Structure 1
Amino acid sequence: MTQTPNIPPVIESDEREYRDSGVPSTVAIAGHPLHPLIVTFPIAFLTGALGTDVGYWLTGDLFWARASFWLIGAGVAAGLVAAATGMLDFLKIDRVREHQAGWVHMTGNIAVLTLSLVNFVLRWGNQGGAVLPTGLVISLFVATLIGITGWYGAELVYRHKIAVIGYGSNHRP
């Protein structure tokens, strides 16, 4: 005689959340949300700037300082586009605002863009002189904050099922 494993009963709210097909993004092409695609660019540029700042710190080669300047500028530009798509979902999807993760993700990314813009302006015309220590510290803080806000963005998608293609839509899962 085989015994069934001791599986705890499913809590009704857990099952309801499990069966929830999610909320699609309001900014999508053919049902595919744009925000998760676009955010990869500012993430790469702004965390890459931390690497080039460290490169300048270790070598003193002005190449790394110039690379940081351009990475930060590109990160701010791409971040503004990502922010626009994310803000549209934030404003149009009630579920985003209902969760603390939505507010942390949004306010943290506003801080990322603000600090990055400050970092860019400080380097304007003085790429090498602005890296140590101020630029490096700002880049480190920005990269850390991006990791935190990215975590909360993933919470919105994977736990709260926001900006996903739902089972109830015309798209197959």
Structure 2
Amino acid sequence: MESRLRVHGHPIQPMLVTFPFGLFVSVVVFDLTDLAGGPEFLGEVGYWTVVAALVAAALAAGAGMIDLWDVPDGRTRRTAVTFNLVNTAMAVLFVFVCLVRSGTPDRGVTGVLVAVELLALSVGAVGVWIGGTLVRRFDPPRGEAGTLDTLRSGFESAGEPLGQLRRG
């Protein structure tokens, strides 16, 4: 199965998934620091980071839905659907956190909300593991990254013969 959305021969959706997950981890770091007595603005930063992560998650989910269209029936499709559902569950938990925080004047966080965020990250970690299995199944490594042959094949698969590359 080839992903419909590709950049230089690489599927986009696995790249997009890293942004919301990284932002969600950042939210937890900001919020834990805020709870531990850090500067007051960290609560606000954590809130807006949740908002940015949810936008990134929506973009990744859109790319995932396009890729899901071409997944053949069977075990692989069930794994892809599970991957999307797990990531959706993580995002829903963070939507809950975002909605609760939007009602507070300082957008601060409580211990209960941090617990929900940690639960959401745990769910997201399962999604990362499932996503890794899907990437290995659909886009196996093309060779060892340190060899000249791998570099040559990577450029040639991107449509540029190695002999025609410009040197910088």
TM tier, smaller: 0.7 to 0.9
The one-letter amino acid paired with 1:112 is M
Letter of the 2:61 counterpart: A
Instruction: Report the equivalent of 1:115.
Output: 93
Larger radius of gyration: 1
Which residue does the alignment assign to 1:134? 112
CA distance in 1, matches of 2:74, 2:105: 39
Q: CA RMSD in A?
A: 2.6
Q: Which runs of 5+ in 2 are unaligned?
A: 143-152, 159-168
What secondary structure does 1:61 align onto?
coil
In 2 relative to 1, CA 163–99 (structure 1 residues): closer, same or farther, beyond 3 Å?
A: farther
Q: Deviation per CA, 1:39-80, whole angstroms, max 9, x where unpaired?
A: 121011111111111101111532221111011000000000
Could you give the per-residue CA deviations for residues 90-139 of structure 1, whole angstroms, max 9, x where no partner exists? 12221686354323211111111111111111111426575112320121
Confirm whether residue 45 of structure 1 aligns to residue 23 of structure 2.
yes
Deviates more, 1:148-157 or 1:33-42: 33-42
How does the TM-score come out when normalised to structure 2?
A: 0.75
Cα distance change, pair 162–101 in 1 and its aligned pair in 2 (3 A): farther
Query: In the alignment, is the contact (CA less than 8 A) between 2:44 and 2:108 conserved in 1?
Result: no
Structure 1: unaligned runs, 5 residues or longer: 1-22
Relative contact order (alpha carbons < 8 A, sep ≥ 6): 1 or 2 greater?
Answer: 1
Q: Is the 8 A contact 1:119 1:138 kept in 2?
A: yes
**Distance across 2 between alignment mates of 1:89 and 1:96:** 15
Separation in 2, partners of 1:85, 1:119: 24
TM-score when normalising by structure 1: 0.73
CA distance in 2, matches of 1:92, 1:142: 28
Contact 1:90 1:97 in 2 (8 A): no
Q: Is the 8 A contact 1:53 1:135 kept in 2?
A: no
- Report whether the alignment pairs 1:171 with 2:148: no
Moved over 4 A (4+): 127-130, 162-165
- Does the 8 Å CA contact 2:14/2:135 hold for their aligned counterparts? no
The aligned residue for residue 146 of structure 1 is 124
Distance in 1, matches of 2:77 and 2:141, equals: 16
Contact 1:49 1:72 in 2 (8 A): yes
Aligned length: 146
> Match of 1:58?
36
Going from structure 1 to structure 2, the CA distance change for 1:130 and 1:163 (only over 3 Å counts) comes to farther
